[in-house]
Amino acid sequence: MESFLNRYRNITVLLLVIFAQLVLLAVQVKNDQNVRFIRVWTVTAVSPMARLVEGMRGSGISFVHNYITLHDADAQNRRLQAEVDRLKLENIFLTNELNTADRAKALQLFQQRTPSKTLAASVFSMGIGSSRKVVYVDRGSTSGVMREMAVVIPDGIIGKVTAVYPTQSEVLLITDPMFAAGVVSGKTHAHGTLKGTGTPLCRVDFVAFEDKVEPGDWFYTSGDDRIFPRGMPVGVVKSVRPGQPYREITLDPSGMSRGSPEDVLIVVDSVHQEIPDTPPANQQVYLAPPPPPLAPPAGTTNDAAATAADGSAGAPAAHTTPGTEADKMHAQYQKAAEGAGMLLGGGPTGTTPTRPPDFTKLPVDPRTAIPGRGTAAAPVAPVPVQPAAVQPVPAPKKSTAPPVPAKGTGPADLKTTPDAVRRANQAAGGPGGLPQP
């Protein structure tokens, strides 16, 4: 170093003196932007180094954050995992709340549609410590509940009330071995007795060997037990084995197909219904006739207007029979009275009646006729309206679902997304539209 300075001493001194005077100049002189050169030069000289230092600092900090302090990521991962778990629980809770609301709506709609008077109840306890399949509901004698009342849900029957307390009741489920109820096959009307087996499946006893029952057939309550109203769905046949003198039939109860129910209906006033000819999931869709025109043309009679409203020229006047049961019955009595030359509620029609009307021989609608009971007069059968635009709901190959109100709300459609199922349930309100638990 010393030899270097000795060798280049002159030029070194020259550069030092020149540099010193340049600095002196830079302190005094300003550029066009009124900034002293010493400042411009200093910034110009320092900026690259500052950028370099800043780059190194940023890279160092980034390296430390990304590679050295990774232990924080583990803690953060744990926190996030805990939050995900909490949100999952919250999601399950909210889903259950939605399902509860859907069940309540379905029960309400079922209450409105069934002729039997029912009382909604919630299951609040299971038969803990007991071998019996029982549950406890929050309705008791103060609510009008009595022993041997039927307990149902829209999917089917659940059980019967076996003990009543002031504010709660004990319900014996249909899967209990002590349970028994009268059932009838929907297809062949074969009578039998439903019995619990202690398993999720039930058994139908006392079905005669000659009665034809096949897997997939639906059984309904027969009403013979005086507990369950006739026509309530019970379940679908799972297997049939020949036996002497009775068949061995295993039944999958539709009311228990979704596990133990949480909300049930207690039948406090039974009204028997007809046994459906078709399985609950394969019932035809009813299509109302087209409405009559608002203003009939002048000069036409009411009959002509009704004929025009029917849409079929020359159709008999019976086609205009009102659709309600009371109207039908009124029409039957009116027809019987007219046959005797009398006006129902108005005495003779002008001609002397030859004989009084026989109201014991009224024409009976075959849809409401009880099997085995004859009719004295020819029935005045309303012409069924053929669905024009809406096709019947196709029957699934093997359906264990309860009745569905319309296509798109059946159990097969419940395999779709939960939201779609829930919306379909709320739109249709059918018992078969209950969401999956």
Q: State which residue, 37 or 246, has the beta carbon closest to another protein.
A: 37
Contact indicator for 219, 237 with CB cutoff of 8 Å: yes
Q: State which residue, 10 or 360, has the beta carbon closest to another protein.
A: 10
**Dihedral class, residue 60 (left if φ above 0, else alpha if ψ from -120 to 50, else beta):** alpha
45 near another protein, rule: CB under 8 A: no
Please name the residues in contact with 60: beta carbons below 8 A apart, sequence gap of 6 or more: none
Q: State which residue, 43 or 381, has the beta carbon closest to another protein.
A: 43
CB of 27 to another protein, least distance (A): 9
18 near another protein, rule: CB under 8 A: yes
CB of 60 to another protein, least distance (A): 40
The correct pick among 5, 7, 8, 21 for binding another protein (CB under 8 A) is 21
Cα 143 from Cα 159, distance rounded (Å):
18
Q: For another protein, how many residues bind (rule: CB under 8 A)?
A: 15
245 prior amide bond cis, ω within 30:
yes
Task: Give the SS3 label for residue 396.
Answer: coil
Question: What single letter denotes the amino acid at residue 431?
Answer: P
Span from 21-29, 110-118, 354-362, 392-400 in contact with another protein (CB under 8 A): 21-29
The 3-state secondary structure of 135-159 reads EEECCCHHHCCCCCCEEEECCEEEE
Cα 89 from Cα 220, distance rounded (Å):
39
Of 322-341, binders to another protein (CB under 8 A) are none
By DSSP bridging, strand 202-205 and strand 218-221 are unpaired
Q: State which residue, 32 or 72, has the beta carbon closest to another protein.
A: 32
Q: State which residue, 3 or 417, has the beta carbon closest to another protein.
A: 3
The correct pick among 2, 32, 72, 210 for binding another protein (CB under 8 A) is 32
343 near another protein, rule: CB under 8 A: no
Q: Which two tokens stand for residue 338?
A: 């007219």
CB of 29 to another protein, least distance (A): 5
CB of 2 to another protein, least distance (A): 17
2 near another protein, rule: CB under 8 A: no
Cα 375 from Cα 363, distance rounded (Å):
7
35 near another protein, rule: CB under 8 A: no
Cα 89 from Cα 104, distance rounded (Å):
22
28 near another protein, rule: CB under 8 A: yes
Contact indicator for 387, 239 with CB cutoff of 8 Å: no
Binding residues for another protein, rule: CB under 8 A, are: 9-10, 13-14, 17-18, 21-22, 24-25, 28-29, 31-32, 37
